[in-house]
Structure 1
Amino acid sequence: MTSPRGLQEWMDTLAEQELPTLNAVVREICELSEDEKCRAEDLTKIILRDADLTSKVLKIANSVHYNPSFASIKTVSRAIVHLGFDNLRNITLATTLIDFFLQGKPKLQLIQSLARSFHAAVQAKAMVPFLDGDKKEQVFIAALLRNISELALISTGLPLVADFIDARDQDPQAEHSLALEFLGVDTSLLSRHLIKDWALGDLLSEACENHVHSSAAARAVNLGNQIATYIQRGIKSPEMTKLCQQTASLCKLPLEQAQQQILLMADEASVVAKTYGLDVLISALPDPEHLDAKEEPPQEVADYLFQQRLNQIHKAMMAGDSLPKVTQLSLAALHEGAAIARLAILFVDHKTKQLDVRYVAGKGTHLWRQQIKINLEQLRKGELLHEFLRHQEPYWYQPRLGQKDVGALQIMGATGGLFLAPLQLNKRLLAIAYADGERSTLNARQFEEFQLIANQLNLMMRLSAAP
């Protein structure tokens, strides 16, 4: 069989795949009526006709990203009231799209492509608060779909496509010429035709045109896409240095702050993937520990670094930044400023009775989100975590003192000391702050600083939940 070549042959090939089924659902979501009442009812019907989609949408709607007040959302209609129509529509669209491409046993190339798209969406969305207008979710979806042609091509399973993707990944800047060589069509042109056929929106069309005078939102979409393409080369690589400068210019930020934002969002991509139930993408998303090679600070600098990081947290809280951002800054304060080797925030899933790792810091922690789940119903009476949950007070475990059996926490792999602290709202345990020295002991000063940060997070949760 001759491989497709040229725009029309590829469009015909894609039309023969299962993509038209996805197209119908995506179009239905995108073309909902402008009438407030009708579109809410129509979106509710689309979600409710698929039990699995309903469950996923409600889980995402109850996450800290979309529901910082922690008010329980049990129905789709309540989710629309609480989150707004646009937010819920875009959650539904993203969930539908990603589930479609990940069905069955997706190839590594497809997982990597989806991971890049997801990372691009998180990076682009983070730029919106610095721009004119409030288009966070529109920008998120546009960046997620920016490379829709690549996802569609990979889903065909054709060897020619795999060869093209391999060659392109080796030299992303040569994508146009490689696409013409392997496929006979530019992938951007193919994307534009798919976007038009699927009626995916003006912002996405504008981003794919990539004009010099594009809107700020379209530029954010394309910047997010480029960051996701080159970030694995390191934040100080020539490509990322240029992209950091462009981000600083677009968002009117100092260069150092733009770099910090990009690194935070690189980690946030894994958190959001976890929120969407996309654990399979985490191993293909960037590990911040590999992106920013830091030199060990002199001792006199290290001594004041914790105070500097604490000041950043206070500024973020005063500026009204989100709980996820404050959480990331908090772990950075303990990892970099208090020299604690590894940290994590484990959320309590009261429905499944599990501890689920969301935020991490430290070498080797990136995949904890994908690998570690602790079943609370299987804890043994007397083991460390069982006793901690019974008392719910900050705790310092020191192996040399022959304290409680570590039990389920052995999965974290620490052989030195560890800290635990409860994160609560109205006396309800929402998460556990965890820290360890890996193979090293921890000291009293670190425990005090750990408790200080835990108290800050408890305060931030109360502020987020306040009406």
Structure 2
Amino acid sequence: MTEIRGLEAWMTTLAEQELPTLNAVVREICELSENEKCRAEDLTKIILRDADLTSKVLKIANSVHYNPSFASIKTVSRAIVHLGFDNLRNITLATTLIENFLQGKPKIHLIQSLARSFHAAVQAKAMVPFLDGEKKEQVFIAALLRNISELALISTGRKVVEDFIDARDKEPQSEHSLAVEYLGVDTSLLSRHLIKDWALGDLLSEACDNHVHSSAAARAVNLGNEISTYIHRGIKSPELQKLCQQTASLCKISFDEARDQVLLMADEASVIAKIYGVEVLIGALPDPAVIEQKEMTAEKPDYLFQQQLNQIHKAMLAGEGFPKITQLSLASLHEGADIARVAILVVDHKSKMLDVRYVIGKGTHLWRQQIKINLEQLRKGELLHEFLRNQQPLWYQPAVAQKDIGSLQMMGAKGAIFLAPLSLNKRLMAIAYADAEAGNLSARQFEEFQLIANQLNLMMRFSAGS
């Protein structure tokens, strides 16, 4: 295979190869994001041209993450009204881009690069509410496409690209010199040419230029990209500490608030990947339990659970969305109530499946990817079957009475288990799950678990009524 080196050689190679990035939907959505006069009807037409895309977009729009009111969304035009133009445009682009790249049997390098881009987009989007200036609504798309040259290079299947990626991942700070060594061209230069040729937008061009006086939106794009690059080194690493400080400065929030936001978005990326149906990315996304590197301390106050419950109430009063309230709720049980592992399993009534959506605790990160429970295959008498029959909070204590835990064996629990229903208008929407991993749970923990489940039930009822 002929060696490819230099800007012109790589641009020629990419031009001759049909890349999934460049399909009509991606191009048109990028054009929409640049056109302030575009109408919702334009986006509707793009989506409706593809029946499969329409189905996927509507499924995502109806998920509790984007639709906590549970109001049925059956049309694309209704989805735009309910979710907003920007949200639906982002969903459409991300779904199209990722699924096109993942066709067939993608190599690990492609999965890792897509996961990094997806995580960068989620991190950058979280900064948008704090920004001033133009084009802040385009941040998600620009961050998602920030490393488009890397995705394009990987798609060529050239070994030299994989060798470059491996070397770069070990020394991300040396990306420029490594790119010149392996490819004969700086990837930033290649990106700028591709963005111009493919007309992917002014904000993306500005982010790649990375000038000192870049706009707040471009800085958010680059910050999201850098966070996704260094996140695996841990929140306490010098690189992440610096990036958290930069996030705090850009968003005009405290360092601790910026740090919490970065951690929350690391988990959010996995939640959204699950909702988008691209579980294959989850294993390559950061595990919050690892990157946070928590230190066990005896100084934890007795009233930590009450403190965290107060934070939940403040978030609710501030109008925070269901995803953040849920994540704060799980944190209160894991940290404040000292419960080893906690999860929310969403009921998909159409497929009769339980999908793990929100998690916290050691070893839970991959539950979203690995665990699927078919409700129609539950055995009579097993724990989950009995719980669904009664739909009342349940405390399973193996030390008191051994029972068949059946499908819940997938969770790997060897000790006590809590279950509670999350229902709306007498219809089960999700199940709150908690376990001690291999130990016991106390009566106080059961009360705190039920309290949080009741909070989430009230939140769903409030959202549905608003």
| Same-fold call, TM cutoff 0.5 | yes
Instruction: Indicate the residue corresponding to 1:176 in structure 2.
Output: 176
Instruction: Indicate the residue corresponding to 2:363 in structure 1.
Output: 364
Contact 1:128–1:134 (CA under 8 A) maintained in structure 2: no
Instruction: Indicate the residue corresponding to 2:2 in structure 1.
Output: 2
Structure 1 counterpart SS, 2:303: helix
CA RMSD of aligned residues (A): 1.9
Deviation at 1:192, TM superposition (A): 1.5
Instruction: Indicate the residue corresponding to 2:314 in structure 1.
Output: 315
Please identify, of 144-153 and 396-405, the stretch whose mean Cα deviation from structure 2 is larger: 396-405
Cα gap change, 1:134 to 1:394, in 2 (>3 Å): farther
> Which digits, 9 at most, give the CA deviation of each residue in 1:167-215, with x for residues without a partner?
1111101111111111121111211222222222222111111111111
- 5+ unaligned residues in a row in structure 2: which ranges? none
Please identify, of 373-382 and 342-351, the stretch whose mean Cα deviation from structure 2 is larger: 373-382
Tell me how far apart the structure 2 counterparts of residues 429 and 310 of structure 1 sit (CA, whole Å). Answer: 24
Cα gap change, 1:429 to 1:146, in 2 (>3 Å): same
- 5+ unaligned residues in a row in structure 1: which ranges? none
Contact 2:136–2:217 (CA under 8 A) maintained in structure 1: no
Number of residue pairs matched?
A: 465
Matches within 5 A, 1:68-217: 68-132=68-132, 138-217=138-217
The one-letter amino acid paired with 2:197 is D
Structure 2 counterpart SS, 1:268: helix
> Which digits, 9 at most, give the CA deviation of each residue in 1:199-258, with x for residues without a partner?
222221111111111111111111111011001111011111111111111111211121
Instruction: Indicate the residue corresponding to 2:272 in structure 1.
Output: 272
Tell me how far apart the structure 2 counterparts of residues 370 and 20 of structure 1 sit (CA, whole Å). Answer: 24
Contact 1:61–1:79 (CA under 8 A) maintained in structure 2: yes
Structure 1 counterpart SS, 2:302: helix
Instruction: Indicate the residue corresponding to 1:22 in structure 2.
Output: 22
Deviation at 1:78, TM superposition (A): 2.1
Deviation at 1:108, TM superposition (A): 0.4
Identity of aligned residues (%): 81
Instruction: Indicate the residue corresponding to 1:237 in structure 2.
Output: 237
Structure 1 counterpart SS, 2:358: strand
The one-letter amino acid paired with 1:362 is G
Tell me how far apart the structure 2 counterparts of residues 120 and 194 of structure 1 sit (CA, whole Å). Answer: 19
Instruction: Indicate the residue corresponding to 1:425 in structure 2.
Output: 424
Instruction: Indicate the residue corresponding to 1:332 in structure 2.
Output: 331
Deviation at 1:343, TM superposition (A): 0.7
* Residue 346, structure 1, aligned to residue 345, structure 2: yes
The one-letter amino acid paired with 2:412 is G
Tell me how far apart the structure 2 counterparts of residues 138 and 94 of structure 1 sit (CA, whole Å). Answer: 13
Tell me how far apart the structure 1 counterparts of residues 133 and 319 of structure 2 sit (CA, whole Å). Answer: 18
Deviation at 1:85, TM superposition (A): 2.9
> Which digits, 9 at most, give the CA deviation of each residue in 1:294-342, with x for residues without a partner?
222226x342221221122122112111111111111111111111011
Please identify, of 243-252 and 47-56, the stretch whose mean Cα deviation from structure 2 is larger: 47-56
Tell me how far apart the structure 1 counterparts of residues 89 and 360 of structure 2 sit (CA, whole Å). Answer: 32
Tell me how far apart the structure 2 counterparts of residues 68 and 133 of structure 1 sit (CA, whole Å). Answer: 29
Tell me how far apart the structure 1 counterparts of residues 275 and 133 of structure 2 sit (CA, whole Å). Answer: 26
Please identify, of 398-407 and 426-435, the stretch whose mean Cα deviation from structure 2 is larger: 398-407
Tell me how far apart the structure 1 counterparts of residues 293 and 151 of structure 2 sit (CA, whole Å). Answer: 32
Structure 2 counterpart SS, 1:87: helix
Instruction: Indicate the residue corresponding to 1:293 in structure 2.
Output: 293
* Residue 440, structure 1, aligned to residue 457, structure 2: no
Instruction: Indicate the residue corresponding to 1:246 in structure 2.
Output: 246
Tell me how far apart the structure 2 counterparts of residues 459 and 135 of structure 1 sit (CA, whole Å). Answer: 36
The one-letter amino acid paired with 1:353 is K
Contact 2:128–2:137 (CA under 8 A) maintained in structure 1: no
> Which digits, 9 at most, give the CA deviation of each residue in 1:68-125, with x for residues without a partner?
2221112223222322333222211111111111111101011011111111111111
Tell me how far apart the structure 2 counterparts of residues 85 and 127 of structure 1 sit (CA, whole Å). Answer: 18
Please identify, of 77-86 and 421-430, the stretch whose mean Cα deviation from structure 2 is larger: 77-86
Structure 2 counterpart SS, 1:321: coil
The one-letter amino acid paired with 1:322 is G
Q: TM-score, normalised by structure 2?
A: 0.95
Instruction: Indicate the residue corresponding to 2:55 in structure 1.
Output: 55
Deviation at 1:15, TM superposition (A): 1.2
Please identify, of 254-263 and 368-377, the stretch whose mean Cα deviation from structure 2 is larger: 254-263
Contact 1:22–1:100 (CA under 8 A) maintained in structure 2: no
Structure 1 counterpart SS, 2:429: strand
The one-letter amino acid paired with 1:213 is H
Cα gap change, 1:154 to 1:34, in 2 (>3 Å): closer
Tell me how far apart the structure 2 counterparts of residues 156 and 264 of structure 1 sit (CA, whole Å). Answer: 34
Instruction: Indicate the residue corresponding to 1:392 in structure 2.
Output: 391
Please identify, of 154-163 and 68-77, the stretch whose mean Cα deviation from structure 2 is larger: 68-77
Cα gap change, 1:334 to 1:136, in 2 (>3 Å): farther
The one-letter amino acid paired with 2:203 is L
Instruction: Indicate the residue corresponding to 2:284 in structure 1.
Output: 284
Instruction: Indicate the residue corresponding to 2:46 in structure 1.
Output: 46
Deviation at 1:133, TM superposition (A): 5.7
Contact 2:195–2:204 (CA under 8 A) maintained in structure 1: yes
The one-letter amino acid paired with 2:338 is A
Structure 1 counterpart SS, 2:292: coil
Please identify, of 148-157 and 128-137, the stretch whose mean Cα deviation from structure 2 is larger: 128-137
